[in-house]
Structure 1
Amino acid sequence: MSDTDHAALPEPDEFEEDFEEEEWPYFPDPFHAGRGDAMTLVERRIRVLIGEIMEKTNWWNKVRDDSIVANWRKEFVEQDAERVRKFWPENSEPAPTVPDDPQEIVDMWNRTWRIRRKPVREGSPWPKKPITKVQLNYAFDWLRCLADQRDADRGIEASHIPKVYQAYNIVPTDLRDALIRGAALLESVPEAQKDWHPGSDGLVLDLVHPSLYCFRLGKSLAKHPDTRSLYAPTIQQYIEQRRDLTGHYMPEIDHKAPCFSIQHQWLPTDFSVSEAGEVASLSYINNLHPDEHKPLYQTLSGILEQFVPLWERVLGDLKKPQRPLLEIDPYRWYDQGPRRSTPEPAEEAFLAQHTSSPHLAGRAFWHIYSLWDEKNEPFIPEPSAFTPPTKEFYSLLGRDIQVIVKMANIVLTPENPSYPGGSWHVEGMLNERIVATGIYYYDSCNISESHLSFRQGFHEEKLKYQQSDDKGYFQVYGLDGNGGPLNQELGSVKTNEGKCLVFPNILQHRVSPFQLEDLSKPGHRKILAFFLVDPAMTVLSTSVVPPQQLDWYMRETASLPGMRTLPQELLDIITDELRRDGAITLEQAKEEREKLMQERSNFVTVHNDQMFEHEWNMCEH
């Protein structure tokens, strides 16, 4: 990666503005140092139970039926026992009988230590002890609360993953049908004109994608904020227009990860949201001609309208995140552990009994102490009685929002029958300042079940722990403090046809693999994605950046009276003038897209390595 691919953002003291950090008005993003709190495995288990129940038909009513709940409790206890057995195979191994002879102690240790230290674990991290009645009660109290908070009219509900919301069939049938018709117009082009996403092996068909005809810093034209005349902003002018990139009140940015591009930006569309919640586009949608696809514009605005109340919930959670279910002090969690009931081995007494070979006796005692220390497990308390969390909505009514639009199809055939899944990533870079994503899975045919998975990262300096207590952190949080990555997988949600799903951009997400159900027939999954720009700020949008599609202008020019009779020389002059005004050909746009994709591929790799998969070694504390 070249040094010119990304900008080193200005240091806060380069600016005269003097803001306090608490005045930071923007929503959390995945590019700054602060991250969420670690989730205990006990909480994760409770959330997994909740998620499995919420996938059941009519769960919000069934959760109030005591007989059904009794069966669910029994089923989950059995499933939990199997998960505990698979992830903690050492639980079923009998405690070793320690011989008296030092040589036998050393031999025993050498035979068994690899098995004890590196057991073969199956599945995701799971609590070491079986689920308790208190935890089950908490889970079903929480489920009943989620049923109460569920928007029955629109089907909006919180998922089992923090800050992730979903709704089935919130989009009216007429809007879905209109979307399918509008997508069909984009799909029905000659094969040579279909825009298969680069690197997708002919699996992903882009209908509307923000990487094509993106804003090119220093090249693309925009309306000047003061004069409204067109100009090509330099990188310095671009940064100076972004209050979130300047000033003393800017939180620390993790400069280890390149998060800001000096080359490109996806272009959002400005939409108005009325006090009644009605949505209308205020500018063109990039890569969607406003005249040729006028009905689709109305359809997209109507569907976006359904996402507003979902996003308001996500934004409210970001403004006031819930505390973890269990908050345990890592400096005291051994105070009530089982080791305290067993006296610590006495080294002097043991060595005094075995004086013939002091070195061997010393090794043997170290093994005895290690076996005793293995019993040293952190005490994990039961959750307190469930209390309904206070929910806050962040209202988007009566304001303008900026949204990046994407439409894409995953197309499977008998010759190419499977989709391998995606990579862990967040959406966009700091340039776009995407705060939340909304996805509408509007059409699926002949494909197997698929999921969208989520994970969160942590900042090492914000974790409290005792040096070298990798065992404690692994048992409590499932985090490997001996060189493991600083992230937690939070689970996944099904992505069935008809579902609308929203989630914050501080969580990474990944599409799971899926394939054709009937291998003799084709299949597809079609999605509409909306990327919401932080509503507390404004980025360059299609309101100030004229369309860059040269063919749009040429078609408009050709429709003018007399243009068809112009000599080619004059048409060439017109084309050259349009290019000087920032318009580019499709081939040029695709070349620029290749640069953008390479840049963002590098970004995803480094962002993962430095901020979501950073190796954690507790011994370096």
Structure 2
Amino acid sequence: MEQILGSSSNSYPGLGKKVRYVADPWDKKEFYPLGIHPNCAGSISEMLFVREVAMMIVMDRLSDKPDFHRKVFDDAIVARWIDEALAIPDNSLWDEIVLGNDGPDGQRVKRLKNILDKDCLEYCIQELRAKSKHFEKTGLIPTLDASAAVCKSDTLIDEALRDELRAAFVKLQAEQKSAPDWHPRTDDKVQDLVHPSLYPLVYGTTRVFADEVVGVDDAIDKWAGKGNIIPEPTGPGEVSDGFDGYGGLGIDPSCWSHKYQWLPANVKLQPDGSVKFTSYINNLHPLKHREVYGTIEKLIEKSIPAWDTCVAALRGWSGVSGRSSRFPFPDDPDDDNEDNWVPKLDEVETPRHSRAPSEAEVSGDESDAEEEFDEEDDYEDCDSESGDPYCGTRKEAKWKMIREPVQPQPLKFEAWKYGPSQGESLRERFDGLQIIVKMASIELTPEKPEFPVGGWHVEGQMNEHIVGTALYYLDSENITPSHLQFRMHTTYDIDDKFRVGQDNYKWMERVYGTRLGAGQDAPCLQNYGSVETKEGRLLAFPNVFHHRVSPFELKDKTKPGHRRFIALWLVDPLTRIISTANVPPQQQDWWMDRAFMNLKAAEANKVARPIAQTILDKAPSADNSGLKAAAEEGTHGLPVELMSMLADEFDDALPMSLEEAKEHRLKLMDIRTAFQGDAESRWEEQTYNFCEH
């Protein structure tokens, strides 16, 4: 077991190591992949056939059915499920799967027909039967699983724990009743109850310890205001240390922040299977809310097996999903291979007359009718579905117009083992983890009845080294269904894998659902589908997925509604980062409450008036009646020299005010918004580009 508890020999990115430190996988022989930048091995998906993504979508929907794990073995029910799936309109599946795969002119690849067939769905049933056995053992369902996987469960969190979580939300919201903490720029729709962007690590401001000394119960009384100020990273020497990228490609500097880092809490994995916080949760009072800590510990305990199912270290540059391929790799994807098309060339009659095709026919939005061409030897005026001219004889031109791709058939199903191998679970490998916690409530009202679609993103920046997410959707009241959509990077260097002749990749474009030619600027992104985020669902996934929230709104526009959830972000267990064990609480009001909680107004005359006034001057938001009384009725002055020294010490030692923390939150959000914009541009700019042969 790898011992990762704090010691004086610890060093962290930004404290003992460079901020942009990334461990070299060649040294460690393993690493957890991140989708934050496009150069990370393990964050790259294989290109998936449209048909395979459709199968994943159907399996996700079927596994949402009540008692699916029993019904999937009932042949009569299965027959109905297959009929239901075959009745899904091709256009509906196509639009979800090829989302965002247009070129610069907005023109998509010609739509596929008959995306699913009975063979595909019989394969799905066999796979669901295998997943049902894993579900019966663990309560977990792997879904949307190909090069990476999502994991969901509607049963893992029992009613007792749900009630505890509800009580925690009620208590935290009650504390904010007079002044809700609306997350900035959400139009007062998202209430932050616990959020890591408030009171983050601030380089050049935050006090830290090199040792992991700050606990939970002692965090405020023993450690608040202590430690040394962490220096700001400066100069090119801070740019990199360790590993800089994969495949000879560097990691863009914007992937890091040189000003802020979210602070995780440390947890101990107990021998009895439970979880225990060994440092406080940032922005959750460690003394007032000790019972909430216990509730979150139970949620983390339940989330660890879900992470074990879908978050894995990469070894030997192989995939991390733990599953085999559903489809064979194309032997000969070249357009000249007539076996890739129906009808074949020799099954087409030579046309007798000519007319140009309509725009609808070219885009594939109308049924393909018999085309009539002129009697010249060649026909070059007709555009293909990708905008290129159909070339060749009249018969070849007609064939290229009317042909449909032969879609691949799935392989014979072979069951595989879900979950970690022996000795590979988080509990078996590590005795502690670092977890970042967020608790929030989305509140909709008749005046503000809609929540917009989210932006594509991964979690955190490189500073946080987040490798996995667990989301628990606690409560949904009076809102329409919502989903979390997923996608991944693919490789742009496709001509290393596929060998086709000059411009002979139209079959590939059709069956993969994306444009592939040079200058067509189709992004190297693979859509995986979406998972419903319904009440009571635990959802876990690795941080190689880009994801976004679909829009939702009030069901009944005359009544308010809400969606409450808690997010747990798993920090890379192989890369220890600065945590709340290193950083004493920065919340000024926590310190003020504890420092002066026993000071009553009747005892105010025992406190030096200048000291009380200095504290109030430095902390104008302090709400302590005894301190205010001391400023008015306390003992008289101290020597001027001593007061000056005290004032200077207060400037350095007093924790951060709420006003300061909110200013930092806005600046942090600005940095991350810019980063996400840069990341989106990088994702979109990396495009497929078959080389000219």
Task: Give the TM-score category using the shorter length.
Answer: 0.7 to 0.9
- After alignment, is 67-76 or 554-563 more displaced? 554-563
Which of 307, 310, 313 is equivalent to 1:314?
A: 310
List aligned pairs for 1:30-41, cutoff 5 A: 30=35, 31-33=37-39, 34=41, 35-41=44-50
1:74 is the counterpart of 2:70:
no
> Does the 8 Å contact 2:197/2:668 carry over to 1?
yes
Taking a change above 3 Å as real, the CA distance of residues 452 and 20 of structure 1, as seen in their structure-2 partners, is closer
Counterparts of 1:137-176 in structure 2, within 5 Å, are 137-152=122-137, 155-162=139-146, 163-176=149-162
Q: Say if 2:399 is the partner of 1:390.
A: no
Change (3 A) 1:178 1:136: closer
Structure 1 residues 19 and 284 mapped into 2: Cα distance closer, same or farther (>3 Å)? closer
Map of 1:391-540 to 2, 5 A cutoff? 391-393=418-420, 394-397=424-427, 399-461=431-493, 464-465=497-498, 466=500, 468-469=503-504, 471-481=506-516, 482-540=520-578
In structure 2, the residue matched to 1:231 is 228
State the distance in 1 between where 2:470 and 2:546 align.
Answer: 14
Cα offsets for 1:253-300 (capped at 9, x unmatched): 654572111111000000111233201111010011101111111111
Q: How far apart in 1 are the matches of 2:448 and 2:409?
A: 50
Rounded to whole Å, the distance in 2 between the matches of 1:569 and 1:473 is 79
The Cα offsets for residues 479-535 of structure 1, whole Å up to 9 and x where unpaired, read as 222222221221111111111111111101111111111111111010011011011
CA contact (8 A) 1:479 1:487 kept: no
Kindly provide the CA deviation profile for residues 301-349 of structure 1, in whole angstroms up to 9, marking residues without a partner as x. 1121111111111124866333432243486454332376439999xxx
Are the aligned partners of 1:270 and 1:283 in contact in 2 as well (CA < 8 Å)? Answer: yes
Letter in 2 for 1:390: K
Q: 1:358 to 1:296 in 2, by over 3 A?
A: closer
Q: 2:182 aligns with which of 196, 206, 211?
A: 196
RMSD of equivalent CA atoms = 4.0
Aligned pair 1:47/2:56, yes or no? yes
Which whole-Å CA distance do the structure 2 matches of 1:504 and 1:620 have between them?
36
Give 1:81-100 correspondences, 5 Å limit: none
Could you say if the C-alpha distance between residues 586 and 126 of structure 1 is closer, same or farther in structure 2, counting changes exceeding 3 Å? farther
Question: What is the percent sequence identity of the aligned residues?
Answer: 30
Judge which range, 291-300 or 430-439, deviates more: 291-300
Q: Is 1:586 aligned to residue 583 of structure 2? A: no
Shift of 1:588: 0.6
**Structure 2 unmatched ranges of 5 or more:** 1-13, 98-104, 215-225, 351-374, 383-388, 619-646
The whole-number CA distance in structure 2 between the counterparts of 1:473 and 1:257 is: 35
Distance 1:364 1:438 in 2: 50
SS in 2 for 1:270: strand
The one-letter code sitting in structure 2 at the alignment partner of 1:64 is F
1:414 is displaced (CA, Å) by 1.1
Q: Does structure 2 conserve the Cα–Cα contact (< 8 Å) formed by 1:313 and 1:392?
A: yes
- Describe the SS at the equivalent of 1:76: helix
1:390-430, Cα deviation, whole Å (9 max, x unpaired):
33414222611000000000001111111113111111000
SS across alignment from 2:530: strand
Matched residue of 1:485: which SS? coil
User: CA-to-partner distance for each residue in 1:180-204, whole Å, 9 max, x for gaps?
Assistant: 2222222124555211011100110
Distance 2:23 2:293 in 1: 43
Change (3 A) 1:589 1:620: farther
- 2:691 and 2:405 mapped to 1: Cα distance? 18
Residue 146 (structure 1) shift: 0.7
The answer on whether the counterparts of 2:265 and 2:278 sit within 8 Å (CA) in structure 1 is yes
Q: CA deviation at 1:25?
A: 3.0
Amino acid at match of 1:337: N
SS at match of 1:483: coil
Name the structure 1 match of 2:241.
Answer: 246
Greater Cα shift, 572-581 or 490-499: 572-581
Q: What secondary structure is seen at the aligned counterpart in 2 of 1:195?
A: coil
Which residue identity does 1:530 align to in structure 2? L
- Equivalent residue letter for 2:521: G
Name the stretch that deviates more: 473-482 or 60-69: 473-482
CA change 1:404–1:595 in 2 (3 A) is same
Check conservation: 2:213, 2:581, Cα contact below 8 A: no
Q: TM-score scaled by structure 1?
A: 0.81
Tell whether the 8 Å contact from 2:33 to 2:313 is kept in structure 1 after alignment: no
Residue 207 of structure 1: how far off its partner (Å): 0.5
Paired with 1:589 and 1:572, the residues of 2 have a C-alpha distance of 23
Q: Does the Cα contact within 8 Å between 1:426 and 1:505 map onto a contact in 2?
A: yes
Q: In the TM superposition, what is the alpha-carbon distance from 1:450 to its structure 2 partner?
A: 1.1
**1:3 aligned partner:** none
Q: CA deviation at 1:601?
A: 0.6
Pairing partner for 1:260 from 245, 256, 270: 256
CA–CA separation in structure 1 for the residues paired with 2:55 and 2:492: 25
Whole-angstrom CA distance in 2 between matches of 1:184 and 1:218: 36
AA in 1 matched with 2:78: V
Equivalents in 2 of 1:18, 1:425: separation in Å?
A: 23
Structure 1: give runs of 5+ residues left out of the alignment.
1-6, 89-116, 347-352
Displacement after TM superposition at 1:616 (Å) = 3.7
Match for 2:54: what amino acid? R
Q: Are the aligned partners of 1:268 and 1:402 in contact in 2 as well (CA < 8 Å)?
A: yes
Residue type of the alignment partner of 1:324: S
SS at match of 2:493: helix
Change in 2 beyond 3 A, CA 1:581/1:253 = farther
| Greater shift in the superposed pair: 280-289 or 251-260 | 251-260
Matched, 1:23 2:28: yes
The AA in structure 2 aligned to 1:49 is V
SS, match of residue 29 in structure 1: coil
